[in-house]
Amino acid sequence: MDLVPIKVLLTLGTKPGARMEYPDFDKACASFLNGQRWEIYCDQFGGPHYDHESKMCEAVNGVPHGRQYVMYLVEEGFANLAVAEFPDLVERLDDAEAEDFHDNRAHRQDPEEKLNENVLAAMRAKLGVEGDLTKIDKRTLSVGDKNALDPEHPAPGIVKNRRKHWGDFKETIGATILEKPE
């Protein structure tokens, strides 16, 4: 699926009760959305990727205040409407810029693997192992236990975090990134 990364500048905490203020994509992109809410539309392409590194906001009375960037993957028609309507708030990114934002700003702190502690605890109890299950002799394990310890296998246990790295994320959602127009 051909998609375009857009980086959106959010304002935080300037209106009472509002945590994040987004551009009004529902209004600006209405002709493209056909009545669907923009948040629902964007979720089908992997949802938001928030910048955790910008340090452009601070807490005021316990409420985030300032600005923050977020990246979305959208179809080209949505991207064109958003950039045209909000040129100071929405920027189209190329693949390299999106990878940098994704890996170094949005998901840098994410773990490489997702651990299902319930499954791993049950395996430890079943096998009589107290420590790191990845260090035991895999030849003695059942196929199911081997799969649970293989991060590349989707079985619950230890699973590779496919949102951590841009290349894995794009592959998971089936995205091809369109280049910026000249």
pLDDT at position 6: 97
Look at residue 182 and tell me if it is in a domain: no
Residue-wise pLDDT for 48-105, tens only, equals 999 887 766 666 666 666 788 999 999 999 999 999 999 999 999 999 999 999 999 9
User: In total, how many domains does the chain have?
Assistant: 2
Q: What is the mean pLDDT of residues 164-182?
A: 92
Task: Note whether 21 and 102 are same-domain residues.
Answer: yes
Q: Which domain holds residue 134?
A: 113-160
Task: Note whether 61 and 94 are same-domain residues.
Answer: yes
> Does 21 have pLDDT greater than 90?
no
Q: Name every residue whose Cβ is closer than 8 Å to that of residue 145 and which is 6 or more positions away in sequence.
A: 123, 127
Question: Which range among 14-23, 150-159, 165-174 shows the weakest confidence by mean pLDDT?
Answer: 14-23
> Does 151 have pLDDT greater than 70?
yes
95 vs 151, residue with greater confidence: 95
pLDDT at position 170: 95
First to last CA, the chain: 21
Question: Which of 139, 113, 145, 107 lies closest to 126, judged by CA?
Answer: 145
Task: Note whether 47 and 86 are same-domain residues.
Answer: yes
* Dist CA 32 CA 45 (whole Å): 15
Task: Note whether 72 and 126 are same-domain residues.
Answer: no
Look at residue 12 and tell me if it is in a domain: yes
* Dist CA 97 CA 124 (whole Å): 43
Look at residue 156 and tell me if it is in a domain: yes
pLDDT at position 178: 94
pLDDT at position 17: 62
